[in-house]
Structure 1
């Protein structure tokens, strides 16, 4: 502890520093020169001090201590996508992936696959096993049950999640939510013994990848939780059961520090929302999957996308993600090299950047603590507005959710098109000659009930690549 009497000069408050800065600006406006705006809601100051914090900060705990001795303080799963074309090749790819840096898998399945063959020789007790439905969800649930029964898998030998919840069906087919609620209620009961496997996942990333701001992403994602609790209560599923069976999936955009604060804020907001229902949820028991954003990538600068993946991955870990899913820009069509690079980012972040050595390195930063607080306050206000207008489902049916997100998307895309916002490799410092490596452009078509993944650079790509 430093003895404050050691210093012979009086301390300076934040206002003292602001006054000095204004004198140094010599007539220039302080706000227009040095402040900026995040997500059209939060003013970013040029500096922060302890005066900005109105409560004592505490280090977060993102997960329980490892059951294995000698592990690092900070743990996360490195997720890799598997798209089975046939069971044999999928099993070979799965084993190769696990032997080369991955310790988590995301299987994209329609429910007709033979999971016994795909997961042959895979020790699920040591990895995170996740399933993403690409067809009829009920078929996939049945396939998972048959696999568990045929292998007599013990509950302690399966961790991970099914990347689905009933609200997903509305965005895919504009179908009947009640059918999904029935399936969710059955899943909660069927997997009640599998304490580390989550049969439902709130997909906040759907909003972020469609162009929503971070505040909109958290607002509508948590709005889904409230809607599900209300619907499932009518199926004799308690709020406690809902929170125990939910994972959360958020996309990490290119506003590095804001994304760190957003993910930490999400964890705190989940705990507070559970508390409103009388449910005690420990911070470390909340499972958050962080994936690199599709919204932040560009078809015009394939190589720069790799850099974006890296700092987005760092934000995901610093923000407290329990699983890191670095998505190759070309998805299932990615080359072997691109898949390898995406898979290795987690290893580099751990082995070379040492982000596994401290649980919460962002704790105590005046800037990040204040930013997180302001994000939480804005999300709570927006959630209150959403509930006052009838809730998430009413917003979906009236398309007010879609309208707001599409407005945010178009605004961001126009700013990049007009160069009001600079994006390296798109409207500034373009790759030329041998470095130029464009990806193929396809028009994005969206039905009124859909929120299709887009890109902030879409208008620029449309101007350049559609004419090529």
Structure 2
């Protein structure tokens, strides 16, 4: 070992946090530290930009452990036991280690599970009707095909909470059958028969704090119902399985799963249960996916799976990238399964024990989410608990507020979604019928949906316009003056208006505003965007607009920037609107589409 430089660090005095902040404030040149560098996310928690050993960070207990061999699930709908079995065997051959069968019709357990090794493959079910008969048959079959009872892994989900919050239907018969279901599976210690899903909260627009809190409120409601029917408390906790969604906020999601495990332990303790073993499955969210530039969903699913695994989940369900707009293909299913295989085999996820433990940032995120979630959980309990809070619309109103904040940030492009409101793929062709018409949300129920639906509706309007007029609207970026600013504003306009699905020409640069106005007024474009610097606007923008309108009264004329002092004069001369960093993309493009529709109608 080379000891020559062992004393290197002793030559430098330690840097205090105060010194770091002093340097940061110098670099900020008077800008507000909190506004510029402290992150306030949609959970209403604040996260500083740096941590030092001087920071007192709370480390929660019972945050879970990394699964040494996490389960990679594939979802299979059972229309026919034989067909579903074929799909299952194909999935196993592709490296899938867990199967979730959605059983909506009568099916033979023997045929469904033919040639599937229950000792190595986790088998789970989402059940509807005749659940106890199917479950009885399954456990009898499993008992005859296992080397040891503890080898059986998976869960049974009756969709109780999901069905209730999305349809308003909470079948008392299913609630009454829970204890019987738990009793049927009691001989298999690693199989869970009391499932609670919180995915509907996240997919309806909630933040992570709400998802954690409301899922735990649902747990208390279910446990209390089981206890009324003489359920055994420890047995109930040992049979718990949870499924949570995963959003795209990487580090916050890691903290969410860890906080959930910690709060679950605290709730169990209030019931007097200190030793139990639950399972936690994470599912990629519907909310974060897009129909436009859909292959970007692969990247979203990868980061979502990574954050869940680092957050100590036991299993992941990764939806195929094209699930939102068509019947999934063999290719998309295979690629979705490969994501977790690569994470496990090549990135060593699950092979390093709790790698995020002790990270000041993640510990801080975890403790703050837990603190906020616990407060919200208690608030719901004071309102009568989960059922009463949902019946009174309290839960729906809380989620609606966060959902609207998210949608506003998306429309203002302050919350970026690649391929949707940032960096749209202008080369792709999308049929109008797969795009959303917008979204209507019941105040009484939750509706899992994509965050992108309102922006998709813009694209749908354009595609319908193209189908009607047989011509795609053309946007021309007409620039002059200062090279740096005209390039920057042309790039901004290309990105901003590309969301619409219009054909956007590459920037055309001219030697003068006069030349730019004359050329763009007589070209084949439908929309023209003036791109230059504020200084050039002061001297030439009004002449540009006047010259342009003298030659063309119909084209839509926009200006990239926000020269406040000139706006009134420019609009009086014939400018339609300005686009800039504070513009709302939905309002702006909707206005352009309305004018284009008017032109087509005439």
**Which TM-score applies when normalising by structure 1?**
0.90
CA distance 1:410–1:238, shift in 2 (3 Å): same
Pair 448,150 (structure 1): closer, same or farther in 2 beyond 3 Å = same
Select between 82-91 and 103-112 the one with higher mean Cα deviation: 82-91
Q: 2:424 aligned with 1:430, yes or no?
A: yes
Picking from 78, 85, 94, the partner of 1:91 is 85
* Secondary structure of residue in 2 paired with 1:396: helix
Tell me whether 1:80 sits opposite 2:74 in the alignment: yes
Write out per-residue CA displacement over residues 207-244 of structure 1, whole angstroms, 9 at most, x where no aligned residue: 11111000000010001111122222211124322211
> In structure 1, how many angstroms separate the alpha carbons of the residues matched to 2:212 and 2:7?
42
- The yes-or-no answer on 1:31 pairing with 2:26 is no
Does structure 1 residue 274 correspond to structure 2 residue 268?
yes
Deviation for aligned residue 1:116? 1.3
SS in 2 for 1:358: coil
The counterpart of 1:319, out of the listed 311, 315, 324, is 311
Do the aligned partners of 2:100 and 2:125 also contact (CA within 8 Å) in 1?
yes
Output one character per residue of 1:254-300: Cα deviation in whole Å (capped at 9) or x when no partner: 00111011111111111111112111136xx3311011111111111
Q: Tell whether 2:166 aligns with 1:175.
A: no
**Which residue in the other structure is 2:56 paired with?**
53
Correspondence list, 1:205-284, <5 A: 205-281=199-275
Unaligned runs of 5+ in 2: 1-5, 464-602
Partner deviation per Cα, 1:373-410 (whole Å, 9 max, x = no partner):
11111111111211122211111111111121122112
CA distance in 2, matches of 1:97, 1:461: 32
Quote the RMSD (CA, aligned, Å).
2.6
Q: Which deviations, in whole Å up to 9, do the C-alpha atoms of 1:163-221 show, x marking residues without a partner?
A: 23543442354234543321112212222212111112111111111110000000100
Cα offset, 1:151, TM superposition = 5.9
The Cα offsets for residues 398-438 of structure 1, whole Å up to 9 and x where unpaired, read as 11111211221122112112222222111111112158798
Look up the match of 1:144: 135
How much does 1:358 deviate?
Answer: 0.2
Counterpart residue number, 2:279: 287
Cα distance in 2 for residues equivalent to 1:58 and 1:222:
17
Q: Distance in 1 between matches of 2:13 and 2:21?
A: 16
Match of 1:451 among 442, 446, 450: 446
SS at match of 2:357: coil
- Over 3 Å counting, the alpha-carbon distance change for 1:55 and 1:402 in structure 2 is closer
- The SS at the match of 1:125 is coil
**Partner of residue 398 from structure 1, selected from 392, 398, 402:** 392
Tell me by how many angstroms 1:30 deviates: 0.6
Larger Rg: 2
Alpha-carbon distance in 1 for matches of 2:184, 2:397: 37
Secondary structure of 1:83 counterpart: strand
Task: Tell me if structure 2 keeps the 8 A contact 1:294–1:329.
Answer: no
Residue in structure 2 matched with residue 67 of structure 1 by the alignment: none
User: 1:462 maps to what in 2?
Assistant: 457
Unaligned 5+ runs, structure 1: 64-72
Distance 2:440 2:200 in 1: 16
Name the stretch that deviates more: 380-389 or 323-332: 323-332
Corresponding position: 1:129 with 2:127: no
The Cα of 1:445 is off from its aligned counterpart by 5.3
Report the alpha carbon displacement of residue 82 of structure 1 after superposing the two structures with TM: 1.0
Post-superposition shift, 1:50?
A: 2.9
CA contact (8 A) 1:172 1:450 kept: yes
**1:328 paired residue number:** 320
14-23 or 166-175: bigger deviation: 166-175
CA 460–346 in structure 1, closer or farther in 2 if over 3 Å, else same: same
Query: In the TM superposition, what is the alpha-carbon distance from 1:58 to its structure 2 partner?
Result: 7.7
Query: 2-side partners of 1:359 and 1:442: how far apart?
Result: 43
8 A contact 2:196–2:218 mirrored in 1: yes
Q: Compare 358-367 and 166-175 and name the one that shifted more.
A: 166-175
Question: Cα–Cα, structure 1 residues 339 and 26, in superposed 2: closer, same or farther, change >3 Å?
Answer: same
| Aligned-partner Cα distance in 1 for 2:141–2:10 | 72
- What is the rounded CA distance, in whole Å, between the counterparts of 1:327 and 1:212 in structure 2? 20
CA contact (8 A) 1:271 1:281 kept: no
State the distance in 2 between where 1:229 and 1:60 align.
22
* 1:439 to 1:53, Cα distance in 2 relative to 1, 3 A: farther
Contact 2:435-2:459 at 8 Å conserved across structures: no
Q: Aligned to 1:180, what secondary structure does the other structure show? A: helix
Q: Whose relative contact order is higher, 1 or 2, with alpha carbons under 8 Å and at least 6 apart?
A: 1
Mapped partners of 1:105, 1:401: distance in 2: 32
Mean Cα deviation higher: 318-327 or 40-49: 40-49
For 2:126 and 2:187, the matched residues in 1 are separated by: 21
Alignment partners' CA distance in 2, 1:104 and 1:319: 19
Alignment of 1:351 onto 2:345: yes
**Cα separation, partners in 2 of 1:45 and 1:6, compared to 1, 3 Å:** closer
